[in-house]
Every structure is written in structure tokens, then in C-alpha cells.
């Protein structure tokens, strides 16, 4: 008997013996696919941008550096956007990124919107919120769920600078998003809305609100319905503006609806389909928040690295000390991982592939990275990181909201657990 035959027979005997000793009940391992052939191909890396994407990203970054950066401190102090900034964002095409050209938009991709949010967030995450909510929530909900007539009416306005706001949250329905108290009732050929919304981003600047209200309370979440409500509609009032820890340039206000009547033409989707619109739109919006937190981390890292090269202690730049080098290296590694997750989720969405799990993961992880990197940035700045004359403390303040809005970290974990289990 050859040594090869002996080895095979020995293996077979051992396998038989093991099977004989195995318990009757066992869980087999999932089958692993066997690849019979390997085709040579060169897939594009997730973070490799096409020429068009590179140009778009570079253009938005330059705009952020030249137009937004000089106003960051003032906007943070005054808790409002710089005058004329929305118009400049509109002129650059950032208010209608995915709107078709024939309707006045840029006809870009969802990934383009993610790149824009990331680039702006490197300079001011507060400004990025306006672009994010407007594009990933309001524009996308309109593109997907509106009728042809509604798209023809609203999308040109949104692309031309009418800011959109997404009015879902209420005092008693934050993470429990569908415990809505805002009511809608039939009023002639339209609807009458009554209720109070809280924490509505873009509320001060908005010309159009996407409002969620319960048409049939007895139906639970299946009674939730979505409506377009224009600024200036009788019974609609933008209330108190929140005095926030971070992203202070972004307006966050309460929204009051007191006998606010809208026509049947303002109904988005069918009656009772508001919960589906909200869920599916927020899945996309979470990728936008992931991009915001990614950009924030990148901006904080850039400032920390620059400061470390300039700040001298013991006769040399602190960047020459291994401890600082290691901290910057850890920050860069976390950022790269977050970028891979955000970009992957966005590209899956554009490819029409399932992305709910990836959206939740990228939002969860990117918000953790943003807080970690911003904290380390403050530490590298030392005492200067604790004062408002330097950018570190603002990035640190801005980072915290990433774990809270558009689904808290615990809600993301719930979503991920459902997907993986």
C-alpha cells in the first residue's frame, strides 16, 4: 500500500470513528460554496472615485473651504446660517443633487449626495445637516413616493432652493417614532392637521415640510399618513428654536399645527402609508448621517495633524513624539474603516441592492468614530483644545448628536440584530 493510500484510509477510518462517537443531535455547518473556476477581474475599490466623482467632491470641498470656513465661528456663535448661504448652495447644485435635469436638478447619484455631505462636514457639520436632510430625506421621499404631478411641482422648487424639512419626531415619539399624537382628519376634499412636532431640522429655513400625522388612531402605525405642507399655510407655525450643544448653525425648532388645512393634492403616497415612507426614507438618511460623522472625523483629524506638526514642546514638534503619532495613526485607521462602511452602504443603495443592515452599521460605527476622533483631537490640542479660539472643541460638540438623531445607537443595534439574526 502506498503512503498516499494509507493516509487516505487512515483519514476515512478516523472520520468514521468520529462519526460513530458523535451525538445523535448536532447542527451541521452551513454549506460553503465551492468555486470551480476563478475569473480574473479588477473590481474598483470602494473608496476609488470615478473622474466625475473626484471632480464633484473636489468642487464641494473647495466651496466649503472658501465659502463656509470663514463663517463657521460666526454661525456657531449666532446659531444660524450665514446670510445667502442657502442661495450659494443652490447655485452649486447641492439642493437638487438627485433631482432630474429636466426638473432643474443635477441628476446625480445618492453617492454624490453622500460625498457632498462628507466634504461639507469636514468644515462645518452644522451646514451639512441642511444639505443632508434636504436631499436624503425630503427630496428622496418626493422622488420615490410622490405622483408624477407632485414631482413636477415640488422637485423644481426644492432644486431651486426651497429648503425641505422632515417633520416626524414629537415629544412622545422619538425612538418610538410611530407613537404619533399629531392628528389628521378629513376636511372637505382635503385634510386638517393638528399637533406639535419637535426637533425639526431646517425648520427655520424651510419652505416645505414633510409632515407625518395619524389619520386613523385605531389603526396604529398603519394610520400614519404623510403630507406636503408649505411655509405660510394657515395654521402652520415654526415655534421655539432649540439652544443646542453642537451643530448650532443648523436650525432645530418645534413645529405647531393648529387647524392647518391642506388639499388632497398634498397627500404623499396613499393614506396610511406614512409609516412605510418614514421607515424606508430614514434608512437612506442614516447613510447621510454616517457621511456627516465621517466628514467630521476627517476634519478633526486634519486639524489635529496640522497642529501636532506646529506645536513644539521639549524643543521639537509634538508630532515627533511616538505617543502622538500612535494617536493620529489610530484615528486615521478608525476613519478609514468608517469610510469603507459609509461608501459601501451608499454604493449598495445606488446599485439597488439590500442595504438596511449596512446603513444601520455605518451610522452606528461612524458616529462612534466621530466622537472618538474628536475627543482625541481635543487631547492633541491640549489646553487649546478646550477653548473656542481653536476648532477642536466645536468638532467635539458637533460629534455627540451623531449617536442620537435619525435613530439612536441603540435603535441601530436593534436593526442590526434583526438583520443578522
DSSP letters of 32-59?
PPP-S------PPPTTPPPHHHHHHHHH
| Rounded Cα distance, 204 and 421, in Å | 42
Cα-trace Rg, the chain: 26
Q: Residue 178: its pLDDT value, please?
A: 77
* pLDDT value of residue 32: 44
Q: Structural domain of residue 197, as residue ranges?
A: 166-270
158: closest CA among 175, 173, 145, 141? 141
Q: Could you tell me where the DSSP H helices lie in 64-147?
A: 72-78, 85-91, 110-121, 125-132, 140-145
Higher pLDDT, 152 or 12: 152
Q: For cell 422622488, what's the residue?
A: 143
Question: Domain check: are 309 and 262 in the same one?
Answer: no
Query: Are 263 and 281 within one domain?
Result: no
Residues 209 and 114 in one domain: no
Answer yes or no: do 299 and 414 share one domain: yes
Q: What pLDDT band is residue 35 in, cutting at 50, 70 and 90?
A: very low
Q: Note the pLDDT of residue 44.
A: 82
> Can you give the pLDDT at residue 40?
54
Q: Is the pLDDT of residue 29 over 60?
A: no
Dihedral sign, Cα of residue 54, residue 292, residue 290, residue 212: negative
In a domain, 376, yes or no: yes
Question: Are 142 and 196 found together in one domain?
Answer: no
Q: What is the mean pLDDT of residues 68-95?
A: 98
Question: Is the separation of the CB atoms in 248 and 72 below 8 Å?
Answer: no
Residue 10 parent element (H or E): helix 3-21
| 392-415: average pLDDT | 97
Strand partners, 253: 200, 241
The 10s digit of each residue's pLDDT in 223-278 is: 999 999 999 999 999 999 999 999 999 999 999 999 999 999 999 999 999 999 99
Count H helices, E strands: the chain? 13, 10
SS3 (DSSP) at 279 = helix
Q: Are 191 and 200 in contact (CB under 8 A)?
A: no
Q: Of the given ranges (135-149, 164-178, 331-345), which has the lowest mean pLDDT?
A: 164-178
Locate 329 and state its grid cell: 495613526
| Structural contact between residues 199 and 405, judged by C-beta atoms closer than 8 angstroms | yes
> Which residues lie closer than 8 Å to 15 by C-beta, 6 or more apart?
none
pLDDT at 10: 41
Check residue 19 and give its pLDDT: 37
Active site residue 406: yes
Give the residue carrying C-alpha cell 476627517: 298
Q: Are residues 259 and 295 in the same domain?
A: no
Instruction: Specify whether 290 is located in the same domain as 360.
Output: yes
- pLDDT tens-place string over residues 113-122: 999 999 999 9
First-to-last C-alpha distance (Å) of the chain: 50
Domain count along the chain = 3
Query: Residue 348 has what pLDDT?
Result: 97
For residues 296 and 232, membership in a common domain is answered with no
Tell me, what CATH number does 76's domain have?
A: 1.10.540.10
Q: Where a domain ends, among 235, 270, 305? A: 270
What are the tens digits of pLDDT across the range 185-236?
999 999 999 999 999 999 999 999 999 999 999 999 999 999 999 999 999 9
Which residues fall within 8 angstroms of residue 228, CB to CB, at 6 or more apart? 150, 154, 208, 209, 210, 211, 262, 266, 267, 268
Instruction: Please report the pLDDT score of residue 16 as a whole number.
Output: 40
CATH of residue 228's domain is 2.40.110.10
Give the CATH number, domain containing residue 368. 1.20.140.10
Evaluate whether residue 95 is within a structural domain. Answer: yes
Give the pLDDT mean for 17-45. Answer: 49
The last residue of a domain, from among 131, 162, 193? 162
List Cα–Cα distances, 326 to 294, 340, 368, 395, in angstroms: 20, 21, 19, 21
Q: Are residues 116 and 252 in the same domain?
A: no
Whether the Cβ atoms of residue 319 and residue 308 lie closer than 8 Å to each other: yes
- Cβ within 8 Å of residue 86, ≥6 positions away: 95, 130, 161, 163, 205
**What phi, psi does 352 have (nearest 5°)?**
75, 20
Whether residue 46 is contained in a domain is answered as: no
Cβ contact 342:132 at 8 Å: no
Q: Which of 162, 197, 217 is the last residue of a domain?
A: 162
How much of the chain is in helix, strand and coil states, percent to nearest 5? 55, 15, 30
Please, what is the average pLDDT of the chain?
92
Average pLDDT over every residue of 55-70: 98
The larger pLDDT score, comparing residue 316 to residue 31, is at 316
Beta strands in 251-378 (DSSP E): 252-263, 267-268, 312-313, 316-317
What percent of the chain lies above the pLDDT cut of 90?
A: 87
Model pLDDT for residues 317-344, shown as the tens digit of each residue: 999 999 999 999 999 999 999 999 999 9
Q: pLDDT at residue 68 above 90? A: yes
Q: Judge whether 405 lies within some domain.
A: yes
Q: What is the pLDDT of residue 138?
A: 98
Q: Is residue 12 part of a domain?
A: no
Closest C-alpha among 337, 292, 344 to residue 45: 344
Position 93 in a domain: yes
In terms of domains, do 116 and 187 share one? no
pLDDT one-digit tens code per residue, 5-27: 443 344 333 344 333 334 434 34
Task: Confirm if 163 and 250 have CB atoms less than 8 A apart.
Answer: no
86 falls within a domain: yes
Instruction: Assess if residue 362 is contained within a domain.
Output: yes
Task: Specify whether 288 is located in the same domain as 398.
Answer: yes
CA dihedral for 403, 406, 411, 413, sign (positive or negative): negative
Residue 100 to residue 105: CA distance in whole angstroms:
5
Please write the tens of the pLDDT for every residue from 376-392: 999 999 999 999 999 99
Q: In terms of domains, do 116 and 203 share one?
A: no
Average of pLDDT values for 292-301?
A: 98
Amino acid at each position: 500500500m502506498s503512503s498516499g493510500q494509507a493516509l487516505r484510509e487512515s483519514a476515512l477510518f478516523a472520520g468514521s470513528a468520529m462519526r460513530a462517537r458523535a451525538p445523535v443531535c448536532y447542527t451541521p455547518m452551513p454549506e460553503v460554496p465551492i468555486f470551480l473556476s476563478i475569473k480574473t477581474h479588477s473590481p474598483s475599490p470602494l473608496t476609488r472615485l470615478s473622474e466625475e466623482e473626484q471632480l464633484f467632491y473636489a468642487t464641494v470641498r473647495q466651496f466649503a473651504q472658501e465659502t463656509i470656513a470663514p463663517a463657521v465661528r460666526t454661525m456657531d456663535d449666532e446659531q444660524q446660517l450665514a446670510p445667502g448661504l442657502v442661495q450659494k448652495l443652490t447655485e452649486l447644485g447641492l439642493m437638487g443633487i438627485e433631482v432630474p435635469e429636466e426638473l432643474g436638478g443635477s441628476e446625480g447619484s445618492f453617492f454624490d449626495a453622500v460625498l457632498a455631505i462628507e466634504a461639507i462636514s469636514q468644515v462645518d457639520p452644522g451646514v451639512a445637516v441642511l444639505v443632508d436632510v434636504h436631499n436624503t430625506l425630503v427630496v428622496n421621499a418626493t422622488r420615490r413616493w410622490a405622483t408624477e404631478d407632485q414631482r413636477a411641482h415640488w422637485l423644481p422648487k426644492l432644486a431651486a432652493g426651497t429648503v425641505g424639512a422632515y417633520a416626524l419626531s414629537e415629544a412622545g415619539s422619538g425612538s418610538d417614532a410611530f407613537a404619533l399624537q399629531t392628528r389628521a382628519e378629513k376636511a372637505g376634499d382635503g385634510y386638517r392637521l393638528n399637533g406639535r412636532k419637535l426637533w425639526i431640522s431646517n425648520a427655520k429655513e424651510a419652505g416645505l415640510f414633510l409632515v407625518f400625522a395619524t389619520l386613523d388612531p385605531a389603526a396604529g402605525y398603519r394610520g400614519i399618513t404623510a403630507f406636503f405642507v408649505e411655509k405660510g399655510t394657515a395654521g402652520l407655525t415654526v415655534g421655539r428654536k432649540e439652544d443646542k450643544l453642537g451643530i448650532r448653525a443648523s436650525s432645530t425648532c418645534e413645529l405647531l399645527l393648529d387647524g392647518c388645512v391642506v388639499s388632497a393634492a398634498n397627500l404623499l403616497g396613499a393614506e396610511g402609508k406614512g409609516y412605510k415612507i418614514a421607515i424606508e426614507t430614514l434608512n437612506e438618511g442614516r447613510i447621510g448621517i454616517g457621511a456627516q460623522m465621517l466628514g467630521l472625523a476627517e476634519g478633526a483629524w486634519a486639524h489635529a495633524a496640522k497642529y501636532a506638526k506646529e506645536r513644539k514642546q521639549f524643543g521639537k514638534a509634538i508630532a515627533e513624539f511616538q505617543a502622538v503619532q500612535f494617536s493620529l495613526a489610530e484615528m486615521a485607521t478608525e476613519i478609514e474603516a468608517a469610510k469603507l462602511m459609509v461608501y459601501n452602504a451608499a454604493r449598495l443603495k445606488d446599485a439597488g441592492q439590500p442595504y438596511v443592515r449596512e446603513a444601520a452599521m455605518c451610522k452606528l460605527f461612524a458616529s462612534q468614530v466621530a466622537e472618538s476622533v474628536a475627543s482625541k483631537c481635543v487631547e492633541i490640542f491640549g489646553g487649546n483644545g478646550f477653548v473656542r479660539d481653536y476648532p477642536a472643541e466645536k468638532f467635539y460638540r458637533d460629534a455627540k448628536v451623531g449617536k442620537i438623531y435619525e435613530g439612536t445607537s441603540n435603535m441601530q443595534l436593534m436593526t442590526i440584530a434583526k438583520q443578522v439574526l
